[in-house]
Amino acid sequence: MASYIRRRKFLATLLGGAVATWPLVARAQQPSQLRRLGVLIGSKWEPDGQARATALVQGLGALNWHEGSNLRIDWRWAGGDTALYERYAAELVSLHPDVLLAQGSLPVTLLRRHTNAIPIVFMIVADPLGQGFVETLARPGGNITGFSSFDPQMTGKWLEMLTQISPPVARAAVLFDPKTALYAGLMLEIEQAARSLAVAVRAAPCSDYAEVAALMAGLAREERGGLVVLPGVFADIHRPDIIILAARYRLAGVYPTREFVASGGMMSYGIDNIDVARRAADYVDRILRGANPADLPVQRPTKFELMINLRTAKALGIDVPPTLLARADEVIE
C-alpha cells in the first residue's frame, strides 16, 4: 500500500509539472509555426498595385499560406520614391524574414546591399542576368531568383504596332535610363526588329525631365516620328511627364506596361503583371518549404497583354485599324 501511494504521488507530481509547463512549451513552439515574408513593391494607390498584392495573397492562399494564420506579411509600399525604397529595404532586412519579395530592379538592388543570406524573390525585372542579380538564368547561384519581365518577342511587337497605325511611324526614338544595364540588350533586339519592319530607330537616353522634354520636342519636328519607352524605374517615376509631353507634341507612343495606357498613353504591350504576382507565390512557397533560391531557375514571362487607349489615339489624330483592336486585351474608349 505504501509503495502504491508513493507511485500515485510521483505520477501526480509528474503530470502536474507537465500540465503546468505545457502552455509554456506551446507558446515557445508557436512562433516557429508563423513564417515571415517581407514585400517591397510600388504604389498601393494604383489599381494594378492593389491587384498585384491581391493576386500574391490569393496565390499564397492556394498553397495553404494564410496571412495572420501561418504567415506574417510585412508590406512596404514605396511608390516611385527612391529614398523610401532605401529606407524600407533596410527595415525589411532588419526584421529577419524567411523570404523577401521585391517588385522591380531598384528594390532588388537595395535589398541585396543589406543581405546575401535571406532569399529574395523578384518579379518584374527586365534583365536579371545583365544586372548581375543571378549567375545564370537556369541556375541563379545565390540568394536571388524570380520572374523576368522581358521576352525578346516584345521588342518586335512594340515596333510592329507603331507601323500598323495610320499614319504609320517611320522613325522611332527609344527612351531609356542610361544608368540601367538592361537597355543595351533591348536596343539590339529593337534594332534587329526595326530592319525587318523598315523603321529607323535611335537610342534616346534620358536622365531627367529636361532631357525627356527635349527629346519629345525634337521628335515632333520629325515626319512620322514615334516613341518607344523601355521599362524601368525612371520611366515609372516620369510616367505622367512622358504622357503629358506625348499628348502636347501629338506623338504616337508604345509603352511597356498597362499603367501607362490607363494614365493616358496610347498603346502598351507587355507581361501580365497580375499573373506574375500570382506565379511568384509558388517560389515563395517552395523556399518556405526548404528550396534553395540558387537552384530555382529564373522564369520568363508566359502571359502577355495588349492594351490600347482609343480615346488618346483619336485625340492625337491617329487611326487604329480594326485588326489591331481585335487583338487587344483591353480597349479604353
Q: Do domains 34-149+273-303 and 153-271+305-332 have the same CATH topology?
A: yes
Q: pLDDT tens digits, residue range 151-191?
A: 877 888 899 999 999 999 999 999 998 887 667 778 888 99
Domain-by-domain residue ranges, the chain? 34-149+273-303, 153-271+305-332
Query: What average pLDDT does this structure show over 303-319?
Result: 95
Q: Which amino acid is at 128?
A: P
User: Please, are residues 105 and 180 in contact by the beta-carbon 8 Å criterion?
Assistant: yes
Q: Which three-class secondary structure state does DSSP give residue 308?
A: strand
For residue 252 the three cell numbers come to: 504616337
What span, in angstroms and rounded, lies between the C-alpha atoms of 92 and 86?
A: 10
Query: What average pLDDT does this structure show over 84-91?
Result: 96
- Is the pLDDT at 121 greater than 90, yes or no? yes
Q: pLDDT tens digits, residue range 2-16?
A: 444 444 444 344 334
Q: Which three-class secondary structure state does DSSP give residue 207?
A: coil
- Is the pLDDT at 21 greater than 60, yes or no? no
Strand partners, 83: none
User: Please, are residues 76 and 91 in contact by the beta-carbon 8 Å criterion?
Assistant: yes
pLDDT of residue 150: 79
- Is the pLDDT at 282 greater than 90, yes or no? yes
Query: What average pLDDT does this structure show over 89-105?
Result: 96
What span, in angstroms and rounded, lies between the C-alpha atoms of 330 and 307?
A: 5
Q: Which CATH superfamily is domain 34-149+273-303 in?
A: Response regulator (3.40.50.2300)
3-state helix, strand, coil in the chain (%, to 5): 50, 20, 30
Q: pLDDT tens digits, residue range 207-244?
A: 999 999 999 999 999 999 999 999 877 888 899 999 99
- DSSP state at residue 298: P
The CB density around residue 284, as the number of other CB atoms within 10 Å, is 26
For residue 136 the three cell numbers come to: 545564370
CATH fold of 153-271+305-332 reads: Rossmann fold (3.40.50)
- Is the pLDDT at 285 greater than 80, yes or no? yes
Exposure string for 145-179, b = 16+ CB within 10 A, e = fewer: bbbbbbbeebbbbbbbbbbbbeebbebbbbbbbee
Q: How far is CA 108 from CA 40, 80, 102, 182, 284, in A?
A: 9, 14, 6, 14, 15
Query: What average pLDDT does this structure show over 272-276?
Result: 91
User: Please, are residues 77 and 99 in contact by the beta-carbon 8 Å criterion?
Assistant: no
Is the peptide bond preceding residue 167 cis, with omega within 30 degrees of 0? yes
Query: What average pLDDT does this structure show over 262-274?
Result: 92
- Is the pLDDT at 94 greater than 70, yes or no? yes
pLDDT of residue 3: 44
Q: How far is CA 246 from CA 71, 212, 243, 265, in A?
A: 44, 10, 5, 8
- DSSP state at residue 262: H
Give the residue from 82, 60, 75, 72 showing the smallest Cα distance to 286.
60
Q: How confident is the model at residue 33 (pLDDT cuts 50, 70, 90)?
A: confident
Q: Which three-class secondary structure state does DSSP give residue 155?
A: helix
pLDDT of residue 182: 66
